[in-house]
C-alpha cells in the first residue's frame, strides 16, 4: 500500500510518498515561497539502489492549486516518479494542526469533517486555513483517492480536566471551548511507541515524559501510555522557550506592553510569537548558532541557553511529580536529537529523581534509538528520532483499513 502524506502551510506544501509494507519513503518534496517570484519546488525519488535522485523546479508558482498540480505531475511523470499511475496511491494523509474537541483520533475526510476543521479555524488561525485549503484542493485534483485527517491535537485529548481547564470563568470553556489543547501530538505519540518497543513493554504499562525540541518545542507527560498533561496550551505559544516564541510569561505582560509602550494586539502577538524565545534573548533562533555564540564567549547566548534548559528542567520536575513514577525521559526533534549540550544541562541536578546522563553516551552520534543515561539508573534517558510523516502515514493506513 502506498500512502501520500501532505502538510500544507500558508506558503508551502511538504509531501512524502510511503510504501507501507516496509515503512519506506519512495518520494519526498516541498513547494516553497508560493505566490512569490522566487518559488521553488524540490522533488526527490528513491532509486533502486536506495539513493535519492533530486530534481528542482524554479519559477513563480502562483498559488497552492498550481503547487498541487506540480506535485501530482511529478508523482505521475515516469522520469520523476516511483509509481506507474496515481491509482497506485491508496490514500492521502493530511496533517491538520487543530482538531479541537471534535477529534480524538484520525478520521476519513468527508464534508462534515471539513466543516468541523473550518469551525476550529479561530483556535488555529495561522494553520487550519492552510491545512483546509490543502484538503479541498487535493479533493478537487484527485477526487478518486480517499483522504484522512491526522490532528496534532488528538493525542492530547486524553488529558483530564484538571490539566486542560484554565482558572477563568467556566462559561468561556462552555461557550467558546477556551482550554488547553496541546500540539506536536503526532511526534509525541510516535516516539512514545518507539520507546515502548525499545524497552520491551506495552505502552499502556509505561510512564513517560516526552520532550520535542525543534524551533517549536513542547513536552508531554504520559501515564500508562496516555497523555495526562502537555506544555502547550490553547495555542502553541505557551510552555517551553522556543526559537521565536516566548513560552510561559506573566499573563499580564500584554497589558503592560499595551499601556506603557502603546503596542497594539497585533504587535504584541508578533512580539511573543515571532520575536521572542531564543531570538529575543540573543538575536538568533538557530540553536547551532546560539551554542556557537556561547562557545565564543557571548554572554547573552549563555543566558539564553540557561533559560532554555531551566524551563525544560522545571517541567521535568513538575511532570515527575504529576506521574509519581517515571520509566523513561525521551528527547526528540531537531534539537532534542542533535544537541547533546541541551540534553545534559536540562538533566543536571536530577539525580535524586534517578535521572542522570552519561556524558560519553550523550555525546556519541548514531542513528536510531540511543540510551544516554548512566548505568544502573531505573529511569532511562532516551534519544528517539521522530518521524511525524511516517506516523501520519501509519495512522492513515489504519484508518483506511478500518473504514
* Contact between residue 13 and residue 31 where contact means Cβ atoms under 8 Å apart: yes
Q: How far apart are CA 392 and CA 152, in angstroms?
A: 10
In the chain, % helix, strand, coil (3-state, to 5) comes to 45, 20, 35
Cα separation values, 371 from 13, 332, 368, Å = 35, 12, 10
Contact assessment for residue 25 and residue 17, using Cβ atoms and an 8 Å cutoff:
yes
Report DSSP letters for 2-31, one per residue.
EEEEEEE-SS-EEEEEEETTTTEEEEEEEE
Active site residue 327: no
Q: How far is CA 203 from the centre of its chain?
A: 20
Query: How many other β-carbons are positioned within 10 Å of the β-carbon of residue 129?
Result: 15
Other C-beta atoms lying within 10 Å of the C-beta of residue 102: 19
Give the span between the Cα atoms of 308 and 23, in whole angstroms. 35
Torsions phi, psi for 116 (to 5 deg): -65, -40
Q: Which of 49, 144, 152, 229 is catalytic?
A: 152
Query: SS3 letters for 238-282?
Result: CCCCCCCCCCCCCCCHHHHHHHHHCCCHHHHHHHHHHCCHHHHHH
67 strand-pairing partners: none
Residues labelled as active-site residues: 152
Amino acid at each position: 500500500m502506498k500512502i501520500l502524506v501532505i502538510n500544507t502551510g500558508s506558503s508551502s506544501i511538504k509531501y512524502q510518498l510511503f510504501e507501507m509494507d516496509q515503512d519506506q519513503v519512495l518520494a519526498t518534496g516541498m513547494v516553497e515561497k508560493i505566490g512569490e517570484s522566487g518559488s521553488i519546488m524540490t522533488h526527490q525519488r528513491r532509486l533502486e539502489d536506495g539513493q535519492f535522485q533530486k530534481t528542482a523546479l524554479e519559477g513563480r508558482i502562483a498559488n497552492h492549486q498550481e503547487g498541487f498540480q506540480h506535485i501530482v505531475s511529478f508523482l505521475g511523470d515516469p522520469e520523476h516518479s516511483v509509481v506507474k499511475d496515481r491509482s497506485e496511491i491508496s490514500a492521502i494523509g493530511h496533517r491538520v494542526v487543530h482538531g479541537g474537541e471534535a477529534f480524538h483520533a484520525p478520521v476519513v475526510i468527508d464534508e462534515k469533517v471539513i466543516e468541523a476543521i473550518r469551525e476550529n479555524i479561530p483556535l488555529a488561525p495561522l494553520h487550519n486555513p492552510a491545512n483546509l485549503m490543502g484538503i479541498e484542493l487535493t479533493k478537487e485534483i484527485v477526487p478518486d483517492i480517499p483522504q484522512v485527517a491526522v490532528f496534532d491535537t488528538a493525542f492530547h485529548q486524553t488529558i483530564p480536566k484538571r490539566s486542560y481547564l484554565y482558572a477563568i470563568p467556566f462559561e468561556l470553556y462552555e461557550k467558546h471551548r477556551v482550554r488547553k489543547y496541546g500540539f506536536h501530538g503526532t511526534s509525541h505519540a510516535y516516539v512514545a511507541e518507539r520507546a515502548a518497543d525499545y524497552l520491551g513493554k506495552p505502552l499502556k504499562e509505561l510512564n513517560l515524559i516526552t520532550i520535542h525540541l525543534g524551533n517549536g518545542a513542547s513536552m508531554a507527560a504520559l501515564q500508562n501510555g496516555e497523555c495526562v498533561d502537555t506544555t502547550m496550551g490553547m495555542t502553541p505559544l505557551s510552555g517551553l522557550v522556543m526559537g521565536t516564541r516566548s513560552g510561559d510569561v506573566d499573563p499580564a505582560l500584554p497589558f503592560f506592553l499595551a499601556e506603557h509602550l502603546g503596542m497594539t494586539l497585533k504587535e504584541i502577538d508578533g512580539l511573543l510569537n515571532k520575536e521572542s524565545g531564543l531570538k529575543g534573548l540573543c538575536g538568533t533562533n538557530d540553536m547551532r548558532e546560539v551554542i556557537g555564540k556561547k562557545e565564543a564567549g557571548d554572554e547573552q547566548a549563555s543566558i539564553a541557553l540557561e533559560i532554555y534548559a531551566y524551563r525544560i528542567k522545571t517541567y521535568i520536575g513538575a511532570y515527575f511529580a504529576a506521574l509519581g513514577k517515571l520509566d523513561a525521559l525521551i528527547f526528540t526533534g531537531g534539537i532534542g536529537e542533535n544537541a547533546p549540550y541541551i540534553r545534559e544541562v536540562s538533566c543536571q541536578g536530577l539525580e535524586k529523581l534517578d535521572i542522570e546522563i552519561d556524558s560519553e553516551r550523550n555525546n556519541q552520534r548514531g542513528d536510531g534509538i540511543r540510551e544516554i543515561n548512566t548505568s544502573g539508573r531505573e529511569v532511562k534517558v532516551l534519544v528517539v528520532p521522530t518521524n511525524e510523516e511516517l506516523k501520519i502515514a501509519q495512522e492513515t493506513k489504519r484508518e483506511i483499513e478500518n473504514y
